[in-house]
């Protein structure tokens, strides 16, 4: 175990003693969810490797084929979404954040929408594309507004300390 990990684990043990019952409950749930998602990520990665290997060896993988591209990159982006989701849960488990941050949820939503654009059927109607674009714009603007607010709060804190 690395010294940084050892320090984090020790800090978690120190905080455990002063946590309320509900805070301990949240901590255990976050750790269990993190473990479950880690298993899902590993299984998904193994399945992705198997599928790509099968496509390369047996099906003469052609990345320019739209369906193959959609399938492979859709799976890769699904893994990225799961990893980001796990990262946000780990932050809660390590008590860097008290709750799942709204900005993180918005980013996961944006990644999910980007995945949807990648796997979108070329025959999709303009209404579907417009709806996805509107949702992407709304999530992106909301994220930008939250980031701007956080930047102003950080600037105000730095000014107050000076």
Which DSSP category does 96 fall into?
A: S
Burial 72-104 (b: 16+ CB within 10 A, else e): beebbbbbbbbbebbebbbbbbbbeeeeebeeb
Q: Write out pLDDT tens, residues 45-91.
A: 999 999 888 877 776 666 677 777 788 888 898 998 999 888 888 77
Q: Are 94 and 78 in contact (CB under 8 A)?
A: no
Q: Write out pLDDT tens, residues 105-148.
A: 898 899 999 989 888 888 889 999 999 999 999 999 999 998 88
H helical segments located in 58-101: 66-93
pTM: 0.69
Instruction: Map out the domains of the chain as residue ranges.
Output: 3-161
């Amino acid at each position: 175990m690395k010294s940084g990990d050892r320090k984090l684990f020790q800090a978690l043990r120190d905080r455990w003693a002063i946590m309320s019952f509900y805070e301990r409950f949240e901590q255990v749930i976050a750790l269990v969810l993190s473990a479950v998602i880690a298993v899902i990520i590993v299984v998904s990665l193994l399945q992705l490797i198997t599928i790509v290997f099968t496509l390369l060896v047996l099906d003469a993988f052609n990345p320019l084929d739209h369906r193959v591209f959609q399938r492979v990159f859709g799976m890769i982006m699904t893994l990225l979404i799961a990893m980001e989701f796990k990262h946000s849960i780990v932050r809660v488990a390590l008590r860097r954040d008290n709750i799942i941050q709204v900005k993180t949820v918005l980013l996961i939503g944006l990644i999910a929408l980007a995945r949807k654009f990648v796997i979108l059927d070329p025959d999709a109607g303009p209404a579907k594309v417009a709806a996805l674009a509107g949702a992407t714009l709304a999530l992106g603007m909301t994220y930008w507004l939250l980031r701007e607010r956080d930047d102003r709060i950080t600037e105000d804190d730095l000014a107050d300390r000076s």
